[in-house]
């Protein structure tokens, strides 16, 4: 039997939560068509999702937003508080601005619409597992257009090289702890850098700071590049 290129990679362990059984079944079948993806358990509501995440401690939790008992937003916030090492990917039909902003501010690593291509969902799971952010292009465009109106002039104080490094890693979805490990600094120092970044960029969240930095040309939308400005 011919092995896929992902066969030798470590298996990405997933907990899947959606209140529609048929939808869950289809998503599970899609994910498990890849050799490196394995769905450990399925949940039909938010409370069950929390219990399964606590039990299995998966690499990635794939969550819908609108679920009975506990919403995907609340589950995301709970995961960030109790299991920060678990990646959270929101897979939903909702692209409404309040949902998007609420989920990203709650700490989700990715947001993919159910209208996305199968390959995009699979890649999003892999990206989130690697600590990267994964935003549906439709969501990115909406965030950019809503945060910055065409007539708005975006201003910000210049960031230091270290602050740019912190913001670049934050843009990829890394937690404060993960940023600290990569830059060999403490979590508290990372938090301090982010506070300075928010103040300089007149931003109230990571997402807003990242979008402003992209608009200013300080951060490339590519995976690893920072502008030399």
CATH 3.30.420.40 corresponds to the domain 12-136: no
Q: What is the pLDDT of residues 39-49, one digit of tens each?
A: 999 999 999 99
Least confident of 80-84, 144-148, 220-224: 220-224
Res 216: pLDDT = 78
Least confident of 50-54, 125-129, 170-174: 170-174
Q: Which runs of E-coded beta strand occur in the chain? A: 12-17, 37-43, 60-63, 87-92, 110-113, 134-135
Q: What is the pLDDT of residues 60-113, one digit of tens each?
A: 999 998 899 998 989 998 998 899 899 999 998 877 766 777 787 788 888 899
Matching CATH number, 148-229, of 1.10.3210.50, 3.90.1170.50, 1.10.10.10, 2.60.40.1930 = 1.10.10.10
Has residue 32 got a pLDDT over 70?
Answer: yes
Q: Structure pTM? A: 0.62
Res 92: pLDDT = 87
The pLDDT mean for the chain works out to 83
């Amino acid at each position: 039997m011919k092995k896929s290129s992902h066969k030798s990679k470590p298996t990405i362990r997933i907990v899947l939560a959606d209140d529609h059984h048929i939808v869950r079944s289809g998503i599970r079948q899609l994910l498990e068509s890849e050799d490196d993806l394995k769905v450990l358990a399925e949940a039909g509501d938010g409370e069950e999702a929390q219990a399964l995440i606590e039990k299995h401690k998966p690499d990635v939790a794939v969550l819908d937003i609108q679920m009975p008992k506990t919403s995907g937003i609340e589950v995301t916030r709970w995961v960030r508080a109790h299991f920060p090492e678990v990646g959270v990917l929101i897979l939903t039909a909702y692209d409404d601005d309040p949902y998007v902003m609420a989920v990203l501010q709650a700490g989700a690593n990715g947001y993919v619409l159910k209208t996305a291509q199968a390959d995009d969902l699979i890649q999003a799971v892999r990206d989130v597992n690697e600590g990267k952010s994964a935003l549906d292009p439709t969501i990115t465009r909406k965030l950019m257009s809503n945060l910055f109106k065409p007539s708005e002039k975006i201003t910000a104080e210049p960031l230091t090289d270290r602050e740019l490094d912190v913001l670049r890693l934050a843009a990829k979805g890394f937690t404060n702890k993960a940023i600290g490990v990569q830059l060999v600094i403490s979590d508290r120092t990372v938090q301090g850098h982010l506070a300075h970044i928010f103040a300089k960029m007149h931003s109230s969240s990571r997402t807003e700071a990242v979008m402003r930095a992209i608009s200013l040309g300080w951060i490339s939308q590519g995976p690893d590049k920072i502008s030399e400005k």
